[in-house]
Structure 1
Amino acid sequence: MNRLLTALAFTALFFSLSAQAAPIQPGLWEFSSRNVEVDGQEMPGMNEMLEQLQNLPPEQRKMMEDMLAAQGVQLGGQGVRICLSEAQVNAEALPFSDQPDCTQEITERSERRWKFSFSCPEASGQGETRFISEREFVSVLETSYSVGGEQGSSRMESHARWIGEDCGTLKPAK
């Protein structure tokens, strides 16, 4: 159970990191993950994590859904969904710009690939996003973290696809 919570927490962080890159369309995006590792152990893929989440006791499931929602993330059909505003996409920046305890840097940028690094009090790492089109991209993120006195590392690959302009009730990711 603890590994599922850790994996879902870093999934939310990862998707918010990789989603802030451009050149992509604003609107609703769905992310699926693969090759997820936490502390060297392979974790279930997105479908398995969503299934495990559905099987949690109602209060634990609500806690996880609320945690994701607070980060602008919603469970979707084949992964998690994030709404990106036009301003976020046009900023072509990584998140954390409003969090003084975090720093980030795009270390390499081309039309079809961004490499980046970040550092926050509880996590740091680096990643790469490859843009397939303005409606699809693939990202890899490697993170070291320290949460509640526990230290570890994670690695994740994700595939993102644009769903559409309308985000419905989901607010843009922060």
Structure 2
Amino acid sequence: MSRLSTTLLLSALSCFGVAHAQSTKPGLWDITQKMGGNAEVDKAMAQMQQQMAGMSPAEKKMMQDMLARQGMSMPAASAGGGMAMKVCITPEMAAKQDMPVQADGECTTTITSRSANSLKMTFVCKNPPSTGEGTYTFSGDTAYTMKMLMKTTHQGKPVSTTLDGQGKWLSASCGAVKPLK
């Protein structure tokens, strides 16, 4: 996997937790996201998806285990070239209406405004180095849409990436998916 696609994937995964920062229903959520913004990013994402599809069983298990420690399941390709994954939100997390603590402490997220149906936030990640801002628009407590702009560097050049996503509540039971940390 190229350094750019790895950086973008890790930055995106660090942002998944924000989905429950507004009033949301606890349980299993289906999260889909699509990155874009420039030809290099689109190429890197297509390459990353090909590489993920071609991973050996041992490599897939290693990635699944890493994501499971963060409370996420293995991303899968979704319609339109995006990524889809399942995320578990506990009742305690939903009640806090706040960001989960990143297990590695590498990202800091700040909620800049909140209304009845939207949330605006910014984030800064140390590893991979990236910054961004985003807006979540909620449809009750069982669905949301998201738009985000992320900035990082690749080979010393600035790279801006857009991230469009949505979340949909699936069930009260998370099954085998562990809660976000």
TM-score range (shorter-chain normalised) is 0.7 to 0.9
Q: Which residue does the alignment assign to 2:33?
A: 33
Corresponding position of 2:180: 173
- Is this contact kept in 1: 2:100–2:180, CA < 8 A? no
Cα pair 1:7 1:38 within 8 Å, conserved? no
Which residue of 147, 150, 157 maps to 1:143?
A: 150
Unaligned regions of 5+ residues in structure 2, if any?
79-83
The verdict on how the C-alpha distance between 1:20 and 1:117 changes in structure 2, with shifts beyond 3 A counting, is: same
Give the drift of 1:40: 5.3
SS at match of 1:93: coil
Report the counterpart of residue 81 of structure 2 in structure 1. none
User: Which whole-Å CA distance do the structure 2 matches of 1:52 and 1:97 have between them?
Assistant: 26
User: Alignment partner for residue 89 of structure 2, among 46, 70, 84?
Assistant: 84
Distance 1:157 1:45, change over 3 A: farther
1:133 Cα offset (Å): 2.1
Counterpart check, 1:108 vs 2:113: yes
Partners of 2:154 and 2:102 in 1: how far apart?
22
Deviation at 1:45, TM superposition (A): 7.7
1:142 offset after TM fit, Å?
1.8
TM-score, structure 2 normalization: 0.76
User: Could you tell me which amino acid in structure 1 is paired with residue 16 of structure 2?
Assistant: F
Aligned-CA RMSD value: 3.3
Aligned length: 171
User: Who is 1:24 aligned against?
Assistant: 24
Structure 1 residue 146 displacement after superposition: 5.9
Instruction: Give how far 1:99 is off.
Output: 7.0
**Conserved? CA contact 2:75–2:85, under 8 Å:** yes
Query: What are the Cα deviations for residues 25-54 of structure 1, in whole angstroms up to 9, with x where unaligned?
Result: 0000011123434785226889x93x7523
Indicate conservation of the 8 Å contact 1:39/1:154, yes or no: no
CA contact (8 A) 2:26 2:94 kept: yes
How far off its partner does 1:101 sit? 6.0
Equivalent AA in structure 1 for residue 6 of structure 2 = L
My pick for the range that moved more, 98-107 or 22-31, is 98-107
In structure 2, how many angstroms separate the alpha carbons of the residues matched to 1:101 and 1:10? 10
- Give the C-alpha shift of residue 132 in structure 1: 1.4
Displacement of 1:144 after TM fit? 2.5
CA contact (8 A) 1:96 1:104 kept: no
Q: How many angstroms does 1:4 deviate by?
A: 4.3
- 2:63 corresponds in structure 1 to 64
Task: Report what 2:42 is aligned to.
Answer: 42
Indicate the percent of aligned positions where both proteins have the same amino acid: 25
